[in-house]
Structure 1
Amino acid sequence: MAKEHLAVIQQERGARPAVGHRPTPSPGPKDLLVQVKAVSLNPVDVYMRDVGFMLEHYPTVGGNDIAGVVVSAGSSVPASDFPVGTRILACAAVFFKKGDPDYGSFQQYVLVPAKSAVRFPDEMTFTTAATLPLSVLTAWTGLNGAGIPVRASPLPSGSKEGLLIWGAGSSIGTAALQVAASLGYSVYVTASSKQHSHLKKLGATAAFDYRDDNVVEHIVQAAKHDGVIVQGGFKAVGDDEVLKKCMEILNSTKKPDTVARLASSLPLMPDAPKVPGVEAVFIDPPENEDERLAYINWVYGTWLKERFGTYVPSQVIQLLDGGLEVINDGLDKLAGGVSGTKFVVEI
């Protein structure tokens, strides 16, 4: 194997990343070395590139979603788990490694903790597989922040427990909808009107246009009409104005004298809006590495693995031609606002 490979390298915080060569690493005892075949682009990738979110190490390589082929495995990884040539999807660990460039997905070869990888079916393309890791992991993490326990069992038939998902048309929102619906929750979602029919097929109880000036009132009325208590919510997209709307909805639909929980996929600033009776939290997997890897392993190796073939990948996939060279342009487009489309780059 080559001693070096191409990567999208960011030399320092705020600098524009550029394609260059970097050393190809060897896997540590618990890692896999993966040849990247496809990556998808996410809002958090923009946030990491532009403001250095969660990054301490520079030069760094960004990127979270990976679909690729196992090249070699560390000494502690059982040979039968990931033989050379195994097709896997994974969420890159660069976020948790504080920017260690060996663990970012925007390069030809990447290190991946073996517990955060899962084989995907032969009939699934690398392009489709690359859209799954971060969305599914963030969906479960967000729902956990909203009060749904990890490894939760389905609710009893006829349950009147509900969940709010703002931005259900996003990759994360669509994943969260499928998780919540599979657990038996009545799910009230917002998205553009063109996506409503699709989201209802995925399990949404009711869908609302986020651009409607009266969307808060309409969601509250629908939940009360259905006799549903909405004690938790997940803001998959949106700014502080959206945060406030979500909190107002929960404050009007929760059980009296209780605190509802709203999970946000973006960090909460100190001056973020506050509404009595609602606690807003930024979603984040466990800080302890062993606990986090066990959690990620369950999300991919159990929950997602059991649903290959029935889980519906989110959004319309748009391939960006040009390999690593077009990743920055793709992130720029994503930063400018994209609805219902997932950018994927084949490496």
Structure 2
Amino acid sequence: MAESLVQMGLMAASESEQTQPSAIMSSITTNGGSKTHLAAQCTDKGTPLSVSSRPTPTPGPGQVLIRPSAVALNIVDTIQRDIGFHVDTYPSVLGSDIGGTIVSAGPSGVPEYLSKPGTRVTTFASAFFEHGNPDYGAFQELVLVPAASVSPIPDGMDWPEAASLPMNIYVALAAWDMCGLDYLSPTAGGKNEAILVWGAATSIGTMAVQTAKLMGYTVVATASEANHEYLRGLGADVVFDYHDIEAAQKSVVGFVQGTQWMKMRYCFLGAGDLAGPQAILKELNGDQGGAFIAHAPLVPADAKTVDGVEVKFISPREGDDEREKQYAGWFNVYLREKLADGKIRPSPEVKIVGKGLAAIDAALTDLKEKGVKCAKPVILLQE
């Protein structure tokens, strides 16, 4: 079913006439016939982002040009800035999470509902997979994005909320794909399946809770006690404090075994010590194997292996075509439908950490040094 709906998302793409950027783009300047706009650019590895003008790209087939009104920050942005992770070109433009409006669409391969200038959308910019190519980063006034990674948003959703969605959806659904789960089915989990979300109060963890619940799983989450009520509101059935790892292990295992009928084979790890979930899944599944941990942070090089419990870093399928199919399923189909019917909501709560492109670099440094708890840091670019 998931594959068929992915195809639906791709088939929705229909040819549309290319539209030039609209007059609302007051920051665009024209010099000798070429258009430019402002961007927070990374000029070299380890250097601060600085705002300067750069050429405005024209969308090709299957692409749209978007004006961000808000952008969310992620820890991977700091890693790319500081050590050049997955950046092959300088100057580069980083960032992935956007809430904004469509300015123009490519000449073909764009769904009709994404072809109209002014359409309000949330989108996952592809700077990471484009290795820093400046046309594709979120931290600028105009961004080139694949139509497959764009979803319209409801009228009542504001820009910061829209910007908070893309990375969270991307990581959560990529994890369930890696686990072999049908995230489109409301009965994928059945009545006797539980799923563990370890570090559920992380930004990506909150979306893992929501999407797991929508698959019909009993959601067992771990987080700081202060966030338990919030996570229950997102769909977690039970929440345990994970600061005492041994106590958390006993609580999770006790809950699952106490039902006498429940199974738990899958874990989404948003943050925390890998050893805890490994021990839990090993105890619950024994030597039969088949347990899987989708690990959102990079898996530590010194991580121990546990027989029967596979651990993998969360990532999409390899290859541009396969990845585009996934994106179309995630954004053109799943997120579009879940937002329209109110079954997915932006999570966690948004925290405005600055305004304007010039505020991004300092906000990234704060995120790196101080972190953030159960909140999504967002920069507001347009009111």
The normalised TM-score by structure 2 is 0.85
Classify 1:156/1:340 alpha carbon distance in 2 versus 1 (closer, same or farther; 3 Å).
closer
Q: Distance in 2 between matches of 1:156 and 1:127?
A: 32
1:266 corresponds to which letter in structure 2? Answer: P
Distance 1:162 1:31, change over 3 A: same
| Structure 1: stretches of 5+ with no match in the other structure | none
* CA positional deviation for 1:269: 4.0
In structure 1, how many angstroms separate the alpha carbons of the residues matched to 2:269 and 2:371?
A: 16
Task: Judge conservation of contact 1:250–1:278 (CA < 8 Å) in 2.
Answer: yes
Equivalence for 2:128: 95
Q: How well do the aligned residues superpose, as a CA RMSD in angstroms? A: 1.8
What code does the residue aligned with 1:231 have? R
**Is it true that 1:262 corresponds to 2:293 in the alignment?**
yes
Aligned to 1:311: 344
How many residues align structurally?
343
1:144 is displaced (CA, Å) by: 2.3
Amino acid of the residue matched to residue 215 of structure 1?
A: A
Look up the equivalent residue of 1:38 and give its one-letter code: A
Q: Deviations over 1:99-118 (max 9, x none)?
A: 11110001111001111111
1:124 aligns with 2:149: no
- 1:138-287 aligned at under 5 Å gives the runs 138-152=171-185, 154-155=187-188, 159-213=191-245, 214-227=247-260, 228-238=262-272, 242-254=273-285, 256-287=287-318
Larger displacement relative to structure 2 (291-300 or 107-116): 291-300
1:53 to partner: Cα distance: 2.4
- In the alignment, is the contact (CA less than 8 A) between 1:147 and 1:232 conserved in 2? no
Q: How far off its partner does 1:298 sit?
A: 1.3
1:93-144 CA-to-partner distances (Å, cap 9, x unmatched) read 1111111111000111100111111111122111111111110111111122
Whether the aligned pair in 2 keeps the contact of 1:229 and 1:255 (CA below 8 Å) is no
- The residue that corresponds to 1:343 in the other structure is 377
CA–CA distance in structure 2, aligned partners of residues 33 and 312 of structure 1: 25
Q: Name structure 2 gaps, 5 residues minimum.
A: 1-27, 30-34
Distance 1:67 1:22, change over 3 A: same
Select the structure of larger CA radius of gyration.
Answer: 2
Whole-Å separation in 2 of the counterparts to 1:229 and 1:36: 43
Q: Secondary structure at the match of 2:288?
A: coil
- Does the 8 Å CA contact 2:127/2:134 hold for their aligned counterparts? yes
Query: For the residues of structure 1 that align with 2:110 and 2:375, how far apart are their CA atoms?
Result: 38
Retained in 1: the 8 A contact 2:62–2:110? Answer: no
Is the Cα–Cα contact under 8 Å of residues 62 and 146 in structure 2 kept in the other structure?
A: yes
Aligned-residue sequence identity (percent) comes to 37
User: Structure 1-normalised TM-score?
Assistant: 0.93
Following TM superposition, by how much is the alpha carbon of 1:11 offset from its aligned partner in structure 2, in angstroms? 1.4
- Structure-2 separation of matches of 1:90 and 1:150: 20
The match for 1:34 is 66
Q: Distance in 2 between matches of 1:162 and 1:46?
A: 34
